[in-house]
Amino acid sequence: MKPLMSVVRPYAWGSRSAIAEIQGRPAPAPGPEAELWIGAHPADPSRVAGTGLDELLAAEPERLLGPAVVERYGARLPYLMKILAAEQPLSLQAHPTLEHAQARFAEGHGGYVDANHKPELLVALTPFDALCGFADPAVSADLIESLGIAELAPVVASLRTGPDGLRDAVRTLLTWPESERAGLVKAAVAAGTVPLVAELARFYPEDTGVLVAVLLNHVRLEPGQAIWMPAGNLHAYLHGTGIEIMAASDNVLRGGLTPKHVDVDELLGVLRFEVLTEPLHSEAAIAEGVRAWPVPVPDFLLLQVTPGAGTVTLDVPGPRIVLAVGGAVTVDDGQSAVEITSGTAAFAGADAGPLRISGPGEAFVAAAG
């Protein structure tokens, strides 16, 4: 096992206490701490004894990643794990399919920074609020209509046609004249019928993404519950702390709740305009003290391990990362054993053996799917 030193990203929406408390550091931190990146993403790779994990993998890909991973993904780790701590809402966003990302990147489209997709899984560590996938458009129509704003009648009419009208409703809201957006959001807040509108407008008072958010499922996760965000799923994290794992990509198409550019046409070409009837993602018990949240992509697998008084053995091949939370655990990959404290992680290469995990803490294990 190779202990990892990982980087905290200080985005403005981050919590000043959540990650610090997980790692046992003084809280509040001097500034916002949004995401702890654990992996080999070149923008902020974890380090092993001062060397970037991305450099180590590139130098010995067959040994550390294994032939199967190298054949499929090249000399890179196909996933990125994070601790995400949201104090304020993140932007509405969606991610492309692999085929769409490859085509757009090859075309040189400015909205794509790599040729990869970015499906994501988030498991809550604390109560966690999120928006995930489109809700029943009939319910959304009632909510928009309850605002009593005559100018929104075309949006309501589109939603009344069912899922086929979702595209028109989203386009209408995202292309609203800029000079009228602040007044529209102010009127929606004044109506007082949809609390979500008032909450989001505190941060984005001139952004019609506040109303797009009403079209989505508002999900409240309890610790251990998960949401799965495949390609084309419009979503946003609102508040809370969780473990996130994703394909290693930076391709993000924004749909509001942001001062950044929103490419409406490109977003509409990526979104899946279908109702997500069950936003929560099912878990599976693997063995005593081990559970997983299976996903239909090969880029990653996420396991949660609670050893208790015993030792859990995981025979998961390929490159693996073990992250401790809520206490320390000891991990042995057959080559060496390390103790990792809460909020720290270690890496095991494909050439190492099964993982033996023990100790009073809890661990999340990331691997190639």
Q: Which residues are catalytic?
A: 254
At residue 154, φ and ψ (nearest 5 deg) are -60, -35
Burial of 268 (0-12, 13-18, 19+ CB in 10 A): middle
Report d(CA 300, CA 76) in Å as an integer: 13
The DSSP symbol for 97 reads -
β-sheet bridge partners, residue 285? 291
Helix (H) or strand (E) holding 70: helix 67-73
Q: CA angle 326-331-332, nearest 5°?
A: 175
The number of beta carbons lying within 10 Å of the beta carbon of residue 360 is: 12
User: One-letter amino acid identity for 367?
Assistant: A
Residue where the block lists tokens 């970037």 = 52
Contact 364, 302 (CB under 8 A): yes
At residue 20, φ and ψ (nearest 5 deg) are -60, -45
Q: At what angle do helices 137-146 and 153-160 cross, to 10 degrees?
A: 160
